[in-house]
Amino acid sequence: MALSADTVRGASAGVSVALVAGEVSGDMLAARLLAGLRPHLPEARFHGIGGPRMMEQGFVSDIEMDRLTVRGLFEIIPRYREIKGIQNTLRDRLLAERPDVFIGADYPGFNLGLEQQLKEAGIPTVHFVSPQIWAWRGGRIKKIIKAVSHMLVIFPFEEEIYRKAGVPCTYIGHPLAEVIPMEPDVAAARTALGMPLDARVIALMPGSRMGELKYLAEPFVGAIKLLAARDPDLRFVAPMAGGRQRQYFMELIAKAGLQSVRIDLLDGRSHEAIAAADAVLVASGTAALEVALFKKPMVIAYKVMRASYEIMRHMGYQPWIGLPNILAREFLVPEILQHDVTPQKLANAMWEQLNNAANRKLLVQRFTEMHHSLLRNSAQESAAAVMRVIAASKKSS
């Protein structure tokens, strides 16, 4: 028998769900989860640390998410005490409150430690999405076993890893696979951005955080200069995450003397930029998966502090860094890493991606298969898993 709206509302009154997202990708993932949970828990309190997309779902952020955002292993050192203090403050609040469930949205360095303390105190914990233990830091599985009541994974191959480790796990699909159309409309994107339909367009995605920009923006701009010299009719489009990023990129463009090159800097609108592009130069991370789901040729770049890179390189378990290549289990697209991230190497690789018609056709086929494999109703699947965790906790208490 279906429950009435009043019954559902009454059952959710007094329920508290705590969440933490530490950066933009986690905010997006958690917002999808909240959208799925709201129909089940319309009167519940959702709070913790989150960003604007979570707040659109009625989430209350007790602490600004920007205070947690940091990149790299060594880059965190100057801010360790601040971030540890935030973790301790939140832990004490949650131990006093005892929410019905705690959900950590990505950000494993912060969330797994918090989850372990909460789980040991009898508060059920859900982690959403798996740390990349299949890429590096495989020893983290021991901590996950202690910290996580239920793991939500967004890649199909991750299920087996957690089942073997004895961690309850649900594959929910990747939210981006639902948001991005199976057949992107290039003409509509170009029209929306005011670009000619017959233009040759390269999208530049050097990262949303200033830490990424400081390593990648300058070689990206250098690559623009070389590519524009090869084909003066090329157009470039670069979505910017905010005013600081935009100003920094504009200064580099001016310094490189590229005022005559057609470079459109956008306020956000990354999906339109990718859809409009013939090829994309992209920082490694979730953005590279977005490019794959848009079925575009790409070059993936990755550069961090040298000490961070050396540690990560020696802890790696596979030869790929970019998510499209990891999912394909082969080098479908070029990866240019660390000291190789130079304007010349980026430009050469991009020129090949832009002009190789046979490769473009192959990538469309492979990325379409990848898209289908990641497509689920992630909001519904993740919400159902969380509701099962809450129900099991209430039953055992």
Mean per-residue pLDDT, 69-98: 80
d(CA 55, CA 72): 27
Which residues is 301 bridged to in the sheet?
Answer: 283, 336
pLDDT at residue number 18:
98
Close Cβ partners of 296 (under 8 Å, ≥ 6 residues apart): 203, 274, 277, 278, 279, 280, 363, 367
The answer to whether 65 and 107 have CB atoms below 8 angstroms apart is: no
The answer, yes or no, to whether residue 153 has pLDDT greater than 70, is yes
Close Cβ partners of 321 (under 8 Å, ≥ 6 residues apart): 135, 284, 300, 302, 335, 337
Mean per-residue pLDDT, 265-290: 95
- For the ranges 63-77, 79-93, 329-343, 376-390, the lowest mean pLDDT is seen at 63-77
Mean per-residue pLDDT, 323-347: 94
pLDDT at residue number 286:
87
d(CA 385, CA 382): 5
Mean per-residue pLDDT, 151-162: 90
d(CA 172, CA 292): 19
Close Cβ partners of 131 (under 8 Å, ≥ 6 residues apart): 108, 112, 137, 140, 144
Q: Between β-strands 101-105 and 60-64, what pairing exists: parallel, antiparallel or unpaired?
A: unpaired
The answer, yes or no, to whether residue 200 has pLDDT greater than 90, is yes
Close Cβ partners of 392 (under 8 Å, ≥ 6 residues apart): 124
- For the ranges 290-299, 310-319, 359-368, the lowest mean pLDDT is seen at 310-319
The answer, yes or no, to whether residue 3 has pLDDT greater than 50, is no
d(CA 58, CA 66): 19
pLDDT at residue number 213:
78
The answer, yes or no, to whether residue 20 has pLDDT greater than 60, is yes
Structure tokens at 229: 């010299």
Task: Give percent above pLDDT 90 in the chain.
Answer: 68
- Each residue's pLDDT tens digit, 171-186: 999 989 999 999 999 9
Listed residue (154, 150, 183) closest to 169, CA to CA:
150
d(CA 296, CA 274): 8
- Each residue's pLDDT tens digit, 279-297: 999 998 889 999 999 999 9
pLDDT at residue number 10:
44
The answer, yes or no, to whether residue 7 has pLDDT greater than 50, is no
Torsion (CA) 36, 37, 42, 43 in degrees, nearest 10: -160
The answer to whether 100 and 394 have CB atoms below 8 angstroms apart is: yes
The answer to whether 289 and 175 have CB atoms below 8 angstroms apart is: no
Confidence grade of residue 9 (pLDDT, cut at 50, 70, 90): very low
Structure tokens at 326: 């990891």
DSSP 8-state class, residue 136: B
Hey, how many other C-beta atoms are within 10 angstroms of the C-beta on 35?
Answer: 20
pLDDT at residue number 310:
56
pLDDT at residue number 287:
93
Hey, how many other C-beta atoms are within 10 angstroms of the C-beta on 240?
Answer: 23
Confidence grade of residue 1 (pLDDT, cut at 50, 70, 90): very low
